[in-house]
Structure formats: C-alpha cells, structure tokens
Amino acid sequence: MIIRGLLFGSIVLYALSGILGLLGRRTRAPLCTGFAAHCVFLIDRAIKGSELSAWGLAEPVHLLPLCLALLVLAARFMKNESRHWRGTELLVAVFLLFAALYPQGFMLPAPQKIGFLPTAFFIFESLAYACFIMAAWFSLSALLSGAKNGAYHETIVWGFVAYSIAQVAGAAWSHLGWGAPFSWSGRHLHSLALWMIYASFLHLRFIKSWRQERSRVYALASGALVMALYLVSYFREMSFPRIAG
Amino acid sequence: MKGGRILDWIGDLRIGTALLFLAALLCLVGGLIVDADRAFFGPLNYTRLHEWLMAQDSSGLLQSWWLCALFAVLGLFGVNTLVCTVQRMASLVRLRKNGEASGSLYAFVPSIVHLLVLCVMAGHALSASLFLRTSVPLEAGQRLGFEGAHIEVLSIELEHYPPHSLFKGKIRDVAARLEVRDEKNTERVSLSFLRPALVGGTMYQLVMNPRALVKGMPHPPTASMKSQEQNRPSGCAENPLMLMAKRDTGVIVIVCSCALIIALMIWYYLELLFRRRKTAGASEKG
C-alpha cells in the first residue's frame, strides 16, 4: 500500500514539476523527490520479482517512464534549462500513470526471456522510445510557439542510435531464443517500420527542397505512431497470465 | 553524359527516402495483417521464403500482396542506395585526391554504414531463403539426424525457481548434454537457453514457445522442412521444450554487419557532436 502510494506520489510530483516548468518556475525539488519515490517503487518491484533483470526491475511498461525521467533529469543537471524542456515532466507523469493503472503482476518468465540480450533489448528500446516521444514534444512545442529549435532532430538522432542497438540486440536474442534473427510477426514488422521511418527522417534534411516545418510535423507524427504502437502492444499484453497482481 | 543522368536519377536521395517510407508503411500494414491471420503467415517463420511463396495459390498470393510489394520496394531501395553510395564515395575520393578537408576518412563513414545496411539486407535474404532447420522434443535418449550428423540427447537437467521465489516451480533454465557424431568426429557439448553449441557449422539450441502451445499451434509446424521433422504435433503440447539444429549462412553476415554499423554510428555521431561543440566554442570566443 505504501509502495503504491509512493508510485502515485511520484506521478503527482512529476505533474507538479511539469506545471511549474510551464509557468517558468524552478522544478528541481519536486522532480528529484518524484524521481526518488519512483526509484523506491521500482526497487521494491525488483526485489519482489527476485530477478535483478529487466524482468524483475521493470517490464518495458515501467522502463519507458524511467527512461523519460532520466532524460529530463539529465537535461536539468546538464543545465539545459532551455524553453523546449519545460513541462516535459508531464510526459513522465502520463506514462507513469499508464504504468500504475496497468496490471501490476509479473508475466511468466520463459527461460529464453532472461539474460543479457533481452535486458539490453528492453533498455535500449525504451530509451529510444523515450527519445522519440521527447522529440515529438519538442516539435509540437516548436510548431505551437513558432520558435526555431533543432532539439528534436538531435534527440531523434540519439533515439535512432539507441533503437538500432535495440534492434541488433533483439535480432541476436531472437536468433538464440527462437532460431531466426527475424520473425514474421506484428512485433518485428512494426519495429522494422519504426526504424525505417526514423531512418528516412534522418535523410530528409539532405533534400534541398525539404522545409524545416515539414520535419517538425514528421517528427510529431512519428512520435504519435511510437505511442500508438506502444499502447496497442501493452493493451494486448494485458490479457497475458500474470503472477502476484 | 546520358548514362550519368540516369544514374543520378536512380540514386536520387528523394527517391530513396520515399522508398524507405513506403517500405515502412508496408511493414506497418503487413504487421497488422500477419497478426490478424497467424495461421496463414505463421509457417513463414519455419519455411524457406521462396518455398512458402511458391506453395501459395492465387488467393494466397493475393493475401500476401504486402509481402510481394515489400520485396519489390526493398529491391528498388537496395539499388537506389547502392548507386547513391557509390556516387558519393566517388566524389569523396576525388575530393581526397584534391586534398580538400571534406574528403577526410570521417566523411566516408556514412557511406560505409549504407553499404553495411545493404549487407544486412542481403544477409536477411540469405537467411530467409537458405536456412536449414529441424527440431525434436527435448527428451533424454532422443535422436536426431541433421546434415550427415547423428545427434543424441544424453541428459537433461531442469532448473526451477526456488520455493521463496514468486515464480516457484516454474522452469528457470534447462541444461542439456548432447553427443554429436559425424563420419570423422564425436563431440559432446552442453547447452542451455540462449547458450547454444556450435559443432561443425551447425548450431544446436534449446527453444520453447509457450504462446504457440496456448494457441494449439505445433512448434515448429511439420510442413516444408528439408529434413524429416520428428516433432509430433500432439507430443509438442506435452513437451514445450525443443532441441533445434540449424544452419544459417545469412546470420554471420547480419551479425558482423550490424556490429560494425553500431560501432561506426556511435563513433560518427559522437565525433559530430564534438566537432559542433568545438565550432560553437570557437565562434563564441571569436
């Protein structure tokens, strides 16, 4: 009960931090307190799961808000207080709320889903998703305010690198666990589609006739697609059998 | 002159980007179609691609329209990328010969990455069309013949989660010992989940597919296997653990290319970041 309270407390603190940020106030105190409460919840989950891996520490549904929070914290502590980072804590709050309302039990851990490769895959995929969603936020704020900033492009570049690492780890994992580096399934095809969408995004800036405003719309639409695929994937997994929860 | 123009058109970046976007859309649609009809597309994962395509009648081909379109688009994208990359590298070599700074080795990295992406595509094509694979239920004393080798499962040890664990009683890992005999050698190897054994170019690994079992799908299906498939569909439901033997020439191309791509990509973007910061610092001082 206390742990659930900490989780919802961290959501409130992230939301408060986001609102304060939008109002132009200092946000470090609520952000750091919220992050600490969030970490206590995840550590408790890791101990319950008895495996200090992605499986026990956090299912991907819990990893994404953690990665988003880490990006926001990194920006704050690198003194990156520029305007486009303001309010990004709200994104953390929204995704953490989704994780809090999601079934809290653990999915049955199949033997081929535990180890270095699945852990690396989930961590890098969640990190990439966090970058893509953050980039969509930046492009949305740039579109709404009309301000010029290239932050979304740089965020997508690092998201793309993380996503590529995730895909390589995923291919190696699939090869060792299922016997083929690629499987004809919705999960693999959608991952490939996302990689191609962001690969084409990175090439757009080399086309002379391509305008910056279009890139912002593209980044926003791609971020929306990432969120849609993420939500559909986890809504589907809601029906899977779980232990303790 | 005319040939040069045609090459410029074929290697046009706008066309390449459009093809990549189109391929992404086809993958998105294809993912939805595959998930909606797993019974039809499921065997694609255990059958060589060209054999699966050739086994389809007209309605089957119509159902897999997105797959045919995807291969066509990826083929065109491959040609576009190859031409574009070769043209870029040729111009960089010219710059390097003239001693210009933009012709440095660092500038070649994106071109090398693009060539490696083509290698990954070729590796996947090889893997999907040339793999050899067979599997049997994992039981002590089980025998399997694969590509001239005789394999026998000597022992199996199941490791379960401890009683204090949330997952108590569930299988945590499996350790199997095999004897692999061919005309020249006899070798004994150990393997467990995600830790396969490689003997004479053949990889032996443990697989398990609980989801397939829930849905009553045999894993893998008996159809379209090159070697005699010894897995009984009914036996599969009793024993979800399988021993798989496979030969996949494409995987080594994919793994090596991917490792190089990741290393080059990280180095390139970090270098770019440092160069930009250096330029920004210099302009601030100025």
Using alpha carbons only, give the angle A62, A65, A67 rounded to the nearest 5 degrees. 105
Task: Name the burial class of residue A102, with classes exposed (0-12), middle (13-18) and buried (19+) by CB atoms within 10 angstroms of its CB.
Answer: middle
For residue B221, pLDDT beyond 50: no
Categorize the per-residue pLDDT at B222 as very low, low, confident or very high, splitting at 50, 70 and 90: very low
Q: How confident is the prediction for chain B on average, in pLDDT?
A: 84
Which SS3 state, helix, strand or coil, does residue A244 take?
A: coil
pLDDT digits (tens, 9 = 90+) for A86-119: 889 999 999 999 989 888 777 777 788 888 898 8
From the list B79, B25, B15, B32, the residue with the least C-alpha distance to A197 is B25
pLDDT at B214: 42
How far is the C-alpha of A195 from the C-alpha of A189, rounded, in Å? 10
| Confidence grade of residue B233 (pLDDT, cut at 50, 70, 90) | very low
Average pLDDT rounded to a whole number, residues B12-36: 95
User: Scanning every residue of chain B, which has its alpha carbon at the shortest distance from the alpha carbon of A209?
Assistant: B14
* Average pLDDT rounded to a whole number, residues A198-214: 90
pLDDT at A57: 59
Report how far apart, in Å, the C-alpha atoms of A71 and of each of A4, A21, A132, A214 are: 24, 15, 11, 25
Q: At what angle do helices B109-130 and B249-285 cross, to 10 degrees?
A: 160
Q: Which of A163, A196, A235 has the most B C-beta neighbours within 10 Å, making it the best mutation to test the interface with B?
A: A196
Cβ–Cβ contact B265 with A under 8 A? yes
User: What is the overall mean pLDDT for chain A?
Assistant: 87
pLDDT, average across residues A166-187: 92
Q: Closest to B24 (Cβ–Cβ): which among A110, A178, A197?
A: A197
Q: Is B270's Cβ below 8 Å from some Cβ in A?
A: no
Would you tell me which residues 88-107 of chain A have a C-beta closer than 8 angstroms to some C-beta of chain B? Answer: 106
User: Closest partner residue to A207 among B14, B128, B196, by Cβ?
Assistant: B14
Note the pLDDT tens digit of each residue in B196-217.
Answer: 999 988 999 998 765 544 443 3
Stretch among B89-93, B166-170, B247-251 having the lowest mean pLDDT = B166-170
For residue A44, pLDDT beyond 70: yes
Confidence of residue A56 (pLDDT cuts 50, 70, 90): low
Residues B161 and B168: beta-carbon distance below 8 Å: yes
- The answer to whether B166 touches A49, Cβ cutoff 8 Å, is yes
DSSP string, A104-167: -SEE---GGG-SHHHHHHHHHHHHHHHHHHHHHHHHHHHHHH-----HHHHHHHHHHHHHHHHH
* Cis peptide leading into residue B220 (ω within 30°): yes
Query: Within an 8 Å CB–CB cutoff, is residue A218 touching chain B?
Result: no
The pLDDT tens digits of the residues spanning B85-109 come to 999 999 988 888 887 766 577 889 9
Angle, vertex CA A209, rays to CA A203 and CA A211, nearest 5: 75
Q: B179: helix, coil or strand?
A: strand
Interface membership of A49 toward B (CB under 8 Å): yes
CB contact, 8 Å: B267 with chain A?
no
Average pLDDT over residues B118-125: 96
Q: What is the pLDDT of residue B218?
A: 39
User: Quick one: pLDDT band at residue A58, thresholds 50, 70, 90?
Assistant: low
Among residues B19, B113, B250, B24, the alpha carbon closest in space to that of A190 is found at B24
The residues that bridge with B155 in the sheet, in sequence order, are B177
Residue A8 pLDDT exceeds 90: yes
- Nearest by CB: B207 against A178, A194, A206: A178
pLDDT above 70 coverage of chain B, percent: 86
Give the largest Cα separation in chain B, rounded. 78
Calculate ∠ Cα A217-A220-A222, nearest 5°.
Answer: 110
CA distances from B36 to A129, A240, B41, B53, B219 (A): 25, 18, 9, 19, 19
3-state secondary structure of B243: strand
Chain A / chain B CB contacts < 8 angstroms: 137
pLDDT of residue B226: 37
Nearest to A48 among B14, B166, B173 (CB): B166
Q: How far apart are CA B235 and CA B218, in angstroms?
A: 9
Q: Which of B122, B125, B27, B121 is nearest to B69 (CA)?
A: B27
Q: Is the pLDDT of residue B240 over 90?
A: no
Write down the pLDDT at residue B161.
82
Contact between A50 and B27 using a beta-carbon 8 Å cutoff: no
Beta-bridged to residue B146, according to DSSP, are: B149
Question: Does position A28 have pLDDT exceeding 90, yes or no?
Answer: no
